[in-house]
Amino acid sequence: MADTSFMEKLVALCRRRGFIFQSSEIYGGIGGFWDYGPLGVELKRNIKDAWWHDHVTNPPLGPDGDEIQMVGLDCSIIMNPKVWEASGHATGFADPMQTCRHCKKLFRADQVKPQLQDAEWYKELCGLWAPGDHAPINALRRWAEKRGPRMAPGLALVRDTDAVLQAIGQVRVDSGGRDPQAERFFSHYIFGADGEHFASDACPNCGGDLTEPRMFNLMFESHAGAVQSDDNKVYLRPETAQGIFANFKNVLDTSRVKIPFGIAQVGKAFRNEINPRNFTFRSREFEQMEIEFFCREEDAMDWYQFWRHQRYNWYVNLGLKSDKLRLRDQGKEELAHYSKACADIEYLFPFSDEHQELEGCAHRGNFDLTQHAQHSGKDLSYFDDEAWQRDAAKFADNKDAAKAAKEKPPYRFLPTVIEPSAGADRAALAFLCEAYTEDSKPDAKGVMQTRVYMRFHPRLAPIKAAFFPLVNKEGMPDLAYQLYRDAKQHMNVFYDDGGSIGRRYARMDEAGTPFCVTIDGDTIKPDGENAGTVTIRDRDTLEQVRVRTGDVVGWLRARVGSGQAP
RNA sequence: GCGGGUGUAGCUCAGUGGUAGAGCGUCACGUUGCCAACGUGAAUGUCGUGGGUUCAAGUCCCAUCACCCGCUCCA
């Protein structure tokens, strides 16, 4: 069950604590665009840094136990428009849509006919007469009065039976099969808003008439150069992946990578969503973390399996431990025509009853490189020199055969691509939802108090630790500040001496800070059991341990991760 | 894009055509002895925006924008 009140509380906390603001808020906002505040930017940076670190700087071991080869890339957002012709976005991202005037449902124009043929009311109506008959006025009237109102309340025949039947009565239905004659009959004389004007299509849901198809182009357009014309029209990229494919040859020629290897990119992408919704989930400007992993076709299924597990585990290890996260293999009917397999990593967000996609791991075959090779006219094939050197001796005595063999697999080929493509903002939203926790328990006066805290993985937490003097006297603030300064060399930490200690803990709980270091009377004592130690309080368990002042930074670093290789 | 709902301080909300309010939070000072303590004081509003009706509009009317709920979507 979708929990909208949960979502409202989370959105309120994000706003209150400075995680996420609506873009351009002082001007009334703008739909589908969001700003990350001081805490949000740290969270998102930590997510992107963790991703980059775990896949590029320090990539995992592959199925064979060897480290995976990965390199990074940062492409421009605006590219030559031909890129989008080659990728299919120029056409595939521009779907004409139609709305039903009666029930207001929205349809992709190319889906109306197939859906119509599946509609029960349509099938019944088609079954009312045999080929070559005159229009079965009486049967139509009976149907319109009995079954029509329930099955197709929007149909003109149902809403305005007399007028439509009168129009139909003047028309002779010529001989011929039920299709296409019947289809034409229906489309011209039964689906209409009124007696004078008949629409050509009917709503598969209710039979009502549809608006003209309208284009929804999901790519943002701009112009390169001061003068706007069709000649210099450009697009903001709808995905970062195409920049990787377009640079495939450059990376190959300059980085000494050998197949199998991956190219990773983190960057903004833009989609002019019809209806942005659900906080930052469907934004018009968003950030992707994408890998294109190039391999031999015969190894591709193994790499596909590897990446889909790898990427799923990455989310689990960073805190999406609940059963809300799932790995779902797409059915055959969902796959793009060139794709052999695709798995979605999905999260059950509180705003929905259905799991929503965080990331897609797709086996794309060599579709993208093929497309770009064709459209650019450039050779994007890979030559496996190692394999050739191994086999060259076989062709030693036949130069022509050698030349021919070198141009074909297994020596020269277009690599197959496995694409783990993740949404950074969706990941951030999932981590925020998963982290949000409420505890209720009575306070000292017996009044129930709700504690709200963000249970981020320490690696993702915007602030790693806070430093408090228990009270502002006896040198505690100075010592706390000094420890804070020491820790700040290594991680993002926060100093606070305002308000009661409980309030300061609560503030850090909402920010998701995993550890609070408190300097108390024992810290400043020259001797005694706890002399020279501070308390470190755990955000989730509320437990405190005493740690020597000199060990605090090391203690924290061991637990929060520094973003560097462990 | 279409239908329904909402919009007043950072947050939650009151305000029934006549002076812009409360609680919480924030800030300052005092206090403080481990989980949103207390005292004193302070700052904070294009009442979403623009028009209209009216002597007078947060309140009535129109338009518009944003958000929420559906239709649709897939990083």
Structure tokens at A106: 């929205």
Give the closest residue to B67 (Cα–C1′). A31
User: Is the CB of residue A537 inside 7 Å of nucleic acid strand B?
Assistant: yes
Type of residue found at A359: E
What pLDDT is attached to residue A162? 77
User: Is the CB of residue A79 inside 7 Å of nucleic acid strand B?
Assistant: no
State the nucleotide closest to A468 in CA–C1' terms.
Answer: B34
Gap between the Cα atoms of A532 and A527, Å rounded = 8
ipTM over 0.95: no
Give the closest residue to B27 (Cα–C1′). A498
The beta strands (E) that lie in A330-413 are given as 341-347, 356-365, 382-383, 412-413
User: Is the CB of residue A283 inside 7 Å of nucleic acid strand B?
Assistant: yes
User: Is the CB of residue A278 inside 7 Å of nucleic acid strand B?
Assistant: yes
What pLDDT is attached to residue A262? 97
Gap between the Cα atoms of A104 and A85, Å rounded = 33
What pLDDT is attached to residue A260? 95
| Chain B nucleotides with an atom closer than 7 Å to a protein C-beta | 1-3, 7, 10-12, 25-28, 31-38, 46, 48-49, 65-75
Structure tokens at A34: 């969001």
- CB neighbour class for A229 (10 Å; exposed up to 12, middle 13-18, buried from 19): exposed
Residues 426-465 of A with CB under 7 A from strand B: 426, 443-444, 449-452
What pLDDT is attached to residue A170? 55
Contacts of A217 (CB under 8 A, 6+ apart): A93, A94, A272
Gap between the Cα atoms of A345 and A552, Å rounded = 38
Show the DSSP H helices in A38-80 as ranges: 38-52
Instruction: Tell me, yes or no, if the pTM score tops 0.90.
Output: no
**Rounded distance in angstroms from the CA atom of residue A27 to the C1' atom of nucleotide B56:** 29
Structure tokens at A16: 């209150």
Which residue positions in chain A have pLDDT lower than 50? 131, 172-183, 192-200, 562-566
User: Is the CB of residue A566 inside 7 Å of nucleic acid strand B?
Assistant: no
- For the stretch A127-178, pLDDT in tens is 775 545 566 777 778 888 888 887 877 777 787 777 777 766 655 444 433 4
User: Is the CB of residue A2 inside 7 Å of nucleic acid strand B?
Assistant: yes
State the nucleotide closest to A360 in CA–C1' terms.
Answer: B75
What pLDDT is attached to residue A398? 86
Type of residue found at A64: D
User: Is the CB of residue A332 inside 7 Å of nucleic acid strand B?
Assistant: no
What pLDDT is attached to residue A181? 45
Give the closest residue to B35 (Cα–C1′). A502
User: Is the CB of residue A108 inside 7 Å of nucleic acid strand B?
Assistant: yes
What pLDDT is attached to residue A167? 63
Q: What is the CA angle A492-A537-A557, rounded to 5? A: 40
What is the number of other CB atoms lying within 10 angstroms of the CB of residue A395? Answer: 16
User: Is the CB of residue A22 inside 7 Å of nucleic acid strand B?
Assistant: yes
Structure tokens at A375: 């459209």
Gap between the Cα atoms of A210 and A450, Å rounded = 51
What is the number of other CB atoms lying within 10 angstroms of the CB of residue A392? Answer: 14
